[in-house]
Structure 1
Amino acid sequence: MQTITVTCVTVSLIRFLFCTLILLSLQAYACTNCWVLFNNKCYAFTESFMRWATVRSFCQKFGDDGDMLVIKTLAELSFLKTELRRRKKYYWTGATDEGDEGNWRWIDGSPWDPEIGKRMWYHSSGQPRINSKYNCAYSRPIADWDSMYCTKSTRALCKRSLVVGLSLWTEWGECSKTCGDGNRSRTRKYDNPTPADGGNDCNDNNALMETQFCKLIDCPVNGGLGSWTAWEQCSTTCGDGEKIRTRECNNPAPAYGGDECIADDLTEKMSCKIQECPVNGGPGTWAQWEQCSTTCGDGEKIRTRECSNPAPAYGGDECNATDLTERIYCKVQECPVNGGPGTWTAWEQCSTTCGDGEKIRTRECNNPAPAYGGDECNATDLTEGIYCKVQECPVNGGPGTWTTWEQCSTTCGDGEKIRTRECNNPAPAYGGDECNATDLTEGIYCKVQECPVNGGPGTWTTWEQCSTTCGDGEKIRIRECNYPAPAYGGDECNATDLTERIYCKVQECPGMTINHWKCRFMHVYDLTENIYCKV
């Protein structure tokens, strides 16, 4: 088995190009130190600057499945972000939306995972850009992705599968320190595949080792005393005082469970006095009480003292004048007390239940009551009256002025004419009564002229005697046209209404037969049943 060890630890372009040539010769073995291994995939963070379109052919030189970066999982995305932060450089990726703006896809045709895309883009710059010529994605040192012109040049980032020939890494060894900064390592060998069919074992010195920084916990740091501050001002502006200076426990500050500094070591005190303090004056001993200020009634007597215990000094305050004089109540005798009006009673009810009225309130002469020969109150000061009105009084309506008379109700004969007036003198108000309807209308008799009077039949006279003494006859009665008599152009009675005739027979005439009867009048009379007299 061919044994070659290559270490790529510089960013020099010449060194990297040399390393690239070595990588091409090591395709048959594994991820060498010029590549970074993650989940059986090898990643080459190159120093070769080129346009996006040439990166794929460049990466394919590293093996059959060598290609531009295509991110398959969130775990792979997290690994790449860590590497980008560590390297702090820009690299092309295999993402593009060229030819289909806004539809991002991977160069190898694998599906675009929206969740990966959401966590890739540089969100604060409005990525991914749409409707622009920024069609190719590149990674940034702050572990996110941006888009730019595909014709720009930046570093190539390649990815390929782990090549058979190198074993997987061993587990990481223990950290070299139990606290603080340390190192740990892991190894792998050229033992995949294992020797067979007479093949040779790989030598131990061909094993590859990887070392990384480790820290299990931070070591405890005990606090140390820092520098003193300047002295503070004296605690008093006069008289005995104290001034202080302090320092912090910051040289170093305690950390990771280390001890704090001793509190007494952080503060220092010393006495100070800027000047003597002013002495405020204090009241001395009281003198005797003076006589009462009045000969009767309430008075006052006074005693005084000096500001001498102590006297004011060093600019101290004089005594308060009120502390040097004392006054007390005194009374030699009572003075005459003139009466004074007391508190008003509540107002009485209004003197009327409606309309204008008056309400009154009173008070007694008791504030104070007259005493010791004092005057009584003035009577006018003990009673007070004010205008009041509980409500308006009802106003009954009164008839107003008559209208002129209307025309007579008839053109002839007896009639009536009317005049009216409204209930507005005054109008009813506040619940007062309406006017009596009979007081609002007045009617009087009138006659324009006499009406024509048609005559009417009067009373019938008695019947006259029968017109014959025997046989068929007639008797008559009459009446005059006097009920009423026609007047003022009225019609006479109908003559037929004034005479009435009826059939009569005093007796049968001797020897007469019916054939000899004659009709005396132009009337038809029933003589006997089914016998008629015809003219």
Structure 2
Amino acid sequence: MLLWVVQTVLLSARISGGTTPQRQMVECFSNFGVESGSCSSLLGRVSQDDCCLNPRYGFQDDHGKCRSCRPASWSEWSEWSHCTVSCQEGVRQRRRFCYGLGDCEDTEALGNLQTQSCEDQACCPQSGGWTEWGKWGACSVTCRKGSRSRRRMCANPRPICGGNCEGEDTMTEECDTGTCPVHGAWAEWSPWMHCSRSCLTYSMALPTRHRTRNCTNPEPSEKPPGMPCPGQSLDVQDCDNLPNCPVDGGWTLWSKFSECSVTCGVGQRVRLRQCTSPPPQYGGQDCSGDSVERELCNTRKHCPVDGLWSAWTPWGKCVRQNRNITCKTYAGRQMRERSCRFTAWEGKSCPENPGISESRVCYDINKCEMHGKWNEWSEWSLCKPSCGPGAQKTRTRECQVDVSMYTMLVGAKQDQAYFSGKPLELCPKLDEKVRTQPCLHVPKCIET
């Protein structure tokens, strides 16, 4: 909220003619992509304050980085990347980005990068070996030159895990069984030559074009003699579809500029002209230049800023009618809260679902002695640190306390009950509760 108050003071000072600090000039865009973090639809160069009259806009400073005008908030997590190796164990990563003015809350300390182990294939491919070549097959022709082939198998030994053998499994060579007569055959027609004229003239005969072909695919042999090609080597055609002479297009006068495209913040207004004075005809050239001209317009009015919920506070103490119920088997309630921040300039308040506060049914078991048994090993955690050398993953066994004496669906509405606090867990002695392994093939850290 402080940022928007400061902007309000600066804007008011400009309107009233007061003294303001030197304003930073930026490239202003009417669209900020919250998934890609990129700016599009350039409006023009204005001050950062004027651009951010609209919180949906984005701007690009002299360093070239695109930034959002909205209050700072996290993007969604990206899809997980491909595993860093194609076989055996590697890691995959996903990221999120803080877009907007100010810093993003990170109450759960999730950071902006997560890394976890992955394994697309348990083993890596191993190459096989070739058997000996088989016998040559028969020649492909009964006269003149042909080909014959032989094969070998990738089975000495066979490859494993998707491996293969280097090289080809088939060998081909030329074979010659004697001389045959060769009969002539036409090569492809050449491309059509240009018409004898470029435009139709009705007082004269139609222009013509021609093409040729050669008896060379193949040529007929002399010994033994082959048959010549049948038909003609020249083809002539009338040019009866030539265009009229071209007419180049010309521009009309510019129209008046339109109204500003927005009612708050920075927008554009446009004017148009048409290529109809005259229009291009019969292949004539289009008008050179643009048919649309745009210029920046500034309403000097701030756009509404919709509210954003803060993170929930931690759950409060579990009590029953303001009385302590630690280690009791009857239920109480606990509360948590959040606040609606950033609403300004007649923007929408945060949606009331579930609202500013929330309560739930609970049992207070903080520091209560409770017997239990060890559960199975958990899944491997994310790799820490998320990049660079020394990353490790862990998994644990937790003491699962016996809560059978508690009713988990409470009251007429059968509300789900939750446990508040951490008990004193009484489980049998266990030698190993935590296992740690290094994460393999973790990418280097990249400055963002």
Fold match (TM-score > 0.5): no
* Structure number with higher strand proportion: 2
Higher relative contact order structure (alpha carbons within 8 Å, sequence separation ≥ 6): 2
**Could you say which TM-score interval applies, normalised by the shorter chain?**
under 0.3
* Structure number with higher helix proportion: 1
> What is the TM-score with the length of structure 1 in the denominator?
0.22
